[in-house]
Structure 1
Amino acid sequence: MFIDPIQVANNISDISQINKVNDNKKTVNGTAGVSDAGAAQGAQVPFKSVFEDAVKDVISTDQQVNADAQKLATGQSDNLHQYSIDIAKAQLSIDLLVELRNKALDSYNEIMRMSI
């Protein structure tokens, strides 16, 4: 089994560059990894795709909050409650991403503590 080394990501946009490097499918014992198509049929979803979805959600909610703030500031919208809702969504998506990162680091540290 091959474990990819941890790569430093200084900001969210660096993650897309890291994904380009890791896009090569790895095979273990002659079988390919689980694909997203298999996930629709009830197979397990790889952690990488869950993490990518969380990052994409953070980016999209942040862009929505920025667009709403700009519309409110320029007077194009008076929909303040939607801005508040979008801020709450953005905060929740960031919290989810942070918790995913924390769980991944906890798991990594636990694996490193194991004796062989």
Structure 2
Amino acid sequence: MFIDPIQTLNSIADISRLNKADGSDKLVNSTNDITDAGSAQGAQIPFKTVYEEAIQDVINTDQQVNVDAQALATGKSDNLHQYSIDIAKAQLSINLLAELRNKALDSYNEIMRMSV
């Protein structure tokens, strides 16, 4: 049994881009270029992008909940469990967005407290 060595991940998005299918330690960045995991500096994602994706996820999950609710109310669907799942996804995405906001504000406040 082989145990993979610990690798530095610079952002949460690096986890999804870590290519383990072929057993290599490579990162695939957004332009589909493959770089070594140790030199992942070029693969960093700005906080703005992560925050925008979180906002878009909240919008998408809210729209899906509304579509499911309308389908249930009009009798076009009897898939109540999918509606419950979509509500849970929406709540989770809202919680993630709130935590991202809290961390950004904490970071900003910490920077403001630094003395020059």
User: Which TM-score applies when normalising by structure 1?
Assistant: 0.66
Q: Deviations over 1:12-42 (max 9, x none)?
A: xxxxxxxxxxxxxxxxxxxxxxx95489754
Q: Write the distance in 1 (CA, Å) between the matches of 2:78 and 2:88.
A: 18
- 2:91 is paired with a residue of what secondary structure? helix
Q: Write the distance in 1 (CA, Å) between the matches of 2:31 and 2:52.
A: 16
How does 1:69-84 map onto structure 2 within 5 Å? Answer: 69-84=69-84
> What CA RMSD, in Å, does the superposition of the two structures yield over aligned residues?
2.0
Alignment of 1:48 with 2:48, yes or no, is: yes
Counterpart residue identity of residue 83, structure 1:
Y
Q: Any stretches of 5+ residues in structure 1 without a counterpart?
A: 1-34
Q: Write the distance in 2 (CA, Å) between the matches of 1:76 and 1:59.
A: 23
The residue that corresponds to 2:95 in the other structure is 95
Deviation at 1:115, TM superposition (A): 0.3
CA contact (8 A) 1:57 1:93 kept: yes
- 2:67 is paired with a residue of what secondary structure? helix
How many positions carry a matched residue from both structures?
Answer: 82
Overall identity of the aligned pairs, in %: 74
